[in-house]
Amino acid sequence: MKICLYTVLLGGYDALLDQPVAADSDADFVCFTDDPGLVSDTWRIELIEPVFPQDIHRSSRVYKILGHPALDEYDVTVCIDASVRLRATPERIIEEFLTDDVQMALAAHSYRDSVLDEFDEVVRLNYDDRGRVYEQLTDYAVHHPDALSAKPLWGGLLIRRR
C-alpha cells in the first residue's frame, strides 16, 4: 500500500512543523505550499497556486478536501493541518481509522461537545466572516437541526482511500 501524508500551507497561515515520526514511516510526507522559500527536513515541498488568490483559507480547503493530482499515485492519503505534529506514524493512524469497510475517516473533536459549540467558537475566534457563519448556522437550524447537537468531527486529520 502506497501512503502519502500531506499538508497544505498557503499564505504563511501556519508554521510548518517537522514530523519526527517520518523516520519510522515508509509514507511520503508532502507539503503543498505557495511559499517558494519553504524548506523542511521531513516534508517534500511542492509549490502550488491558490485556487482562489483572494481567499487563501478556502483555497487551502480545496486541496485538503479534493487533494492534488500528485496524490493520484497513492492508495491512501492522510491530510493533517500544518500545525499538527503526529505522535504516531501514518501507518498506525491508517490501521486504527481505516478498517476494511471504511473509505474515509476523521477523528471526533477532542473538546467540543456539539456542532453548535463549534459554530460559537468560529465566531468568537473570528475564523470566518460572521455573516457567512450565521448563514450556514441558519441553514443547519432549518434543514438539519439534529446535527447541531451532534459531536463535531475534527478537520485537522482526514484519512481516505483513493
Rounded-to-integer distance, Cα 33 and Cα 146, Å: 37
| Residue 13 pLDDT > 80 | no
8 A C-beta contact, residue 43 and residue 18 = yes
Mean pLDDT of 132-151: 95
Measured on CA atoms in the order 126, 127, 131, 137, is the torsion positive or negative? negative
Rounded-to-integer distance, Cα 110 and Cα 78, Å: 19
C-alpha cell at 139: 441553514
- Burial grade of 157 (CB within 10 A; 0-12, 13-18, 19 or more): middle
What is the tens place of the pLDDT at every residue in 71-124?
A: 999 999 999 999 899 999 999 999 999 988 999 999 888 888 999 999 999 999
Whole-number Cα distances in Å, 27 to 12, 59, 74, 89? 25, 25, 10, 9
Residue 15 has what pLDDT?
87
12: confidence class by pLDDT, cuts 50, 70, 90: confident
Residue 110 has what pLDDT?
84
What is the tens place of the pLDDT at every residue in 18-59?
A: 999 999 999 999 999 999 999 999 999 999 999 999 998 889
Residue 128 has what pLDDT?
85
- Which DSSP letter does residue 83 get? T
